């Protein structure tokens, strides 16, 4: 509760020996064949692209850029989703790294709400990788978790 101001049920907590192990476990559940895909940001920590390759999945990358101050451009995300679906891929989830790695950027609440709504509409599991929450390089945008934003949205 300290981080998000949202009550946590201890039975909902799953511990692993590290973030990489947790990501690998989730990716193994999500990618069952070469027809399965996970929307993943570019640039990103290479764990996601490496696991997608090892698990023989389809890498559905969406580009982030300096022109949007590293916010997610939803048109770019939708393009990646529809491109993968047009190839017959089943997109199962969307990875969001916040704060970004390697950029250190923090998403705005408005952008996070767009992402949450998009995942609900498209029936995608949202993988909010927030392991870098203390690696913020500017004081302009404080870190706020997706859990907190989703809880406030209802």
Q: What is the mean pLDDT of residues 35-43?
A: 94
Reply yes or no on whether the pLDDT at 1 is more than 60. Answer: no
pLDDT-wise least confident of 18-22, 90-94, 117-121: 18-22
Residue 72 confidence class, pLDDT cut points 50, 70, 90: confident
The confidence score (pLDDT) of residue 18 equals: 87
Whole-number Å distance between alpha carbons of 28 and 10: 24
Q: What is the mean pLDDT of residues 112-126?
A: 97
Whole-number Å distance between alpha carbons of 101 and 46: 10
Q: Which two tokens stand for residue 2?
A: 């300290």
- Walk across the sheet containing 90-97 and list its strands: 58-63, 36-42, 90-97, 125-129
Q: What is the pLDDT of residues 90-108, one digit of tens each?
A: 999 999 988 777 777 788 8
The owner of tokens 């969307």 is 94
Reply yes or no on whether the pLDDT at 3 is more than 70. Answer: no
Which pTM value belongs to this model? 0.89
The confidence score (pLDDT) of residue 134 equals: 62
The confidence score (pLDDT) of residue 105 equals: 79
Contact 40, 52 (CB under 8 A): yes
């Amino acid at each position: 509760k300290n981080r998000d101001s949202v009550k946590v049920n201890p039975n909902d907590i799953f511990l692993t020996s590290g973030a990489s192990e947790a990501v690998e476990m989730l990716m193994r559940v999500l990618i069952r064949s070469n027809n399965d895909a996970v929307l993943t940001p570019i640039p990103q920590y290479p764990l996601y692209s490496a696991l997608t390759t090892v698990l023989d999945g389809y890498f559905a990358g969406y580009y982030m850029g300096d022109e949007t101050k590293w916010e997610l451009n939803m048109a770019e995300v939708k393009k990646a989703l529809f491109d993968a679906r047009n190839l017959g891929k089943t997109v199962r989830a969307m990875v969001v790294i916040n704060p970004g790695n390697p950029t250190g950027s923090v998403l705005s609440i408005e952008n996070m709400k767009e992402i949450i709504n998009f995942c609900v509409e498209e029936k995608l599991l949202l993988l909010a990788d927030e392991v870098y929450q203390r690696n913020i390089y500017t004081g302009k945008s404080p870190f706020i978790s997706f859990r907190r934003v989703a809880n406030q949205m209802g």
